[in-house]
Amino acid sequence: MRQFELRRASSIEDAVLLGASSPTAQQGAAVRYLAGGTTLLDLMKLDIEHPAHVVQIGHLGLDRIEAAPDGGLSIGATVRNSDLAHDERVRHGYAVLSEALLSGASGQLRNMATTAGNLLQRTRCVYFRDTAMACNKREPGSGCDAMDGFNRNLALLGTSEHCIASNPSDMNVALVVLDARIHIAGLHGGRQVTIANFHLLPRDTPHIETPLVPGDLVTHVTLPPLAEGTRTGYLKLRDRASYEFALASCAVLLRVSGGIVEQVRIGLGGVATRPWRAVVSEHMLAGQPLTLANVEAAAAAALRDARPREGNAFKIELARRCIVQAIRNVAGEALQ
Ligand SMILES: Cc1cc2nc3c(=O)[nH]c(=O)nc-3n(C[C@H](O)[C@H](O)[C@H](O)COP(=O)(O)OP(=O)(O)OC[C@H]3O[C@@H](n4cnc5c(N)ncnc54)[C@H](O)[C@@H]3O)c2cc1C
Ligand code: SF4
């Protein structure tokens, strides 16, 4: 690991100022905030990240889960994944988030990992994490060894000719169906970004993953309240039952009345370059009777634009089945 200077921010404003001295907040940042360190320190040891300054933020009071003024929930950036998953308001009001968090990593990792760190975790593409390999995300313009290499855990949706890396987070898939907002403190004050606009498609700049600019510090995430009768859930399919990233996962938010779908949101993980909303499927189901035939047709439509590579084509069928089963689990007897 290269040498770096560890700084302890004295306040949120100080953290922002320290961060702003980096030329970029994306790949190659010279300043990185240290949360749980479970992604950052690994990448520093592998020489994928080599910040000259690492800024501690864990003591800045961003570790609270509070009721939001609109009746929703506000989750601090440094709330640990374990604390969030076990919070009663999350378990009962936003089950999909609790289930997604508990399906991720291991108990020890969840005790360290934080909300913002999870939001900003980097891809598990093996070529990204190996400096001997060509990777446009790590080294813009160097190529992509994953295209014709080991890509069974990589993306089918939202890919580009420059990068097919999947977003590995379970939590992010839950956040897309919950319509989360990301709150950011920056050099020019605070701002909010919707989760749908927080993770960018790779296009021809896979090294630019978010709209964050130097000095931007994620302070908290808010979840709007859910309408009465809304059910949510998360299903994750993977190579082993724990301590493994998703091959395909599905988050569902569903409200059914009199057999008709009043509201539905479907999020996909493990198969897309960013936490993915299956918007076409949602449109097919909304306002229609919740029947297995309708669900199966909607699930197939979610993968219509998939662009598989040799090693990951099997995930089209896997993801389709994952969507159907996730909706069945959440719908229960409401499925006709
Ligand atoms: C073996 C292993 C298995 C795993 N399995 C899973 C899994 O199955 N599912 C899953 O979803 N995840 C999994 N993970 C990933 C894990 O969830 C992430 O490593 C963790 O959530 C990152 O959180 P952290 O607080 O440790 O982030 P850190 O490593 O501290 O930070 C990650 C990034 O976020 C930036 N950052 C942190 N906080 C802020 C902030 N407030 N503002 C701006 N930038 C910030 C950091 O600078 C860094 O770039 C696994 C990890 C490991 C090591
Ligand atoms: S898929 Fe993306 S992260 Fe993986 S090697 Fe290609 S450019 Fe790099």
Domain segments of the chain: what residues? 231-334
Task: Please report the DSSP string for 28-81 in residue order.
Answer: T-SEEEESS-TTHHHHHHTTS---SEEEE-TTSS---EEE-TTSSEEEETT-BH
For 195-221, the DSSP string reads HHHHSPP-TT-TT--SS--TT-EEEEE
Query: C-alpha angle 101/102/104, rounded to 5°?
Result: 70
Fold topology of 231-334: Enolase-like; domain 1 (3.30.390)
Å from CA of 149 to ligand 2 middle = 10
CB-neighbour burial class of residue 261 (10 A; exposed 0-12, middle 13-18, buried 19+): buried
CA-to-CA dists, residue 96 to 135, 171, 228, 251, angstroms: 33, 9, 16, 7
% of residues, the chain, pLDDT over 70? 100
249 CB under 6 A from ligand 1? no
Q: What share of the chain is helix, strand, coil (3-state, %, to 5)?
A: 30, 20, 50
The residue type found at 214 is P
Contact 169 CB / ligand 1 (< 6 Å)? yes
Distance 119 CA to ligand 1 centre (A): 7
pLDDT confidence band for 110 (50 / 70 / 90):
very high
Residues 4-22, mean pLDDT to the nearest whole number: 98
Residue 255: count other Cβ atoms within 10 Å of its Cβ: 18
Q: For residues 102-106, give the mean pLDDT.
A: 97
Measured in angstroms, how far is the CA atom of residue 153 from the centroid of ligand 2?
12
Residue whose Cα lies nearest atom 11 of ligand 1: it is: 169
DSSP 4-32: -EEEE-SSHHHHHHHHTTSS-SSTT-SEE
In the chain the first and final C-alpha atoms are separated, in Å, by 57
Name which of 230, 235, 29, 237 is nearest 122 in CA terms.
Answer: 29
| Confidence category of residue 133, pLDDT binned at 50, 70, 90 | very high
Rounded CA separation 167/125 (Å): 9
- CA of residue 265 to ligand 2 center, whole Å: 29
Q: How far is CA 221 from CA 75, 93, 146, 240, 332, in A?
A: 5, 16, 33, 30, 30
* Ligand 1 site-directed mutation target among 27, 33, 167, most atoms within 8 Å of CB: 33
pLDDT digits (tens, 9 = 90+) for 48-81: 999 999 999 999 999 999 999 999 999 999 999 9
Mutation probe of ligand 1 site: the residue of 109, 119, 208, 219 with most atoms within 8 A of C-beta:
109
Ligand nearest to the CA of 27: 1
Residue nearest to atom 50 of ligand 1 (CA): 105
Mean pLDDT value across residues 309-329 = 98
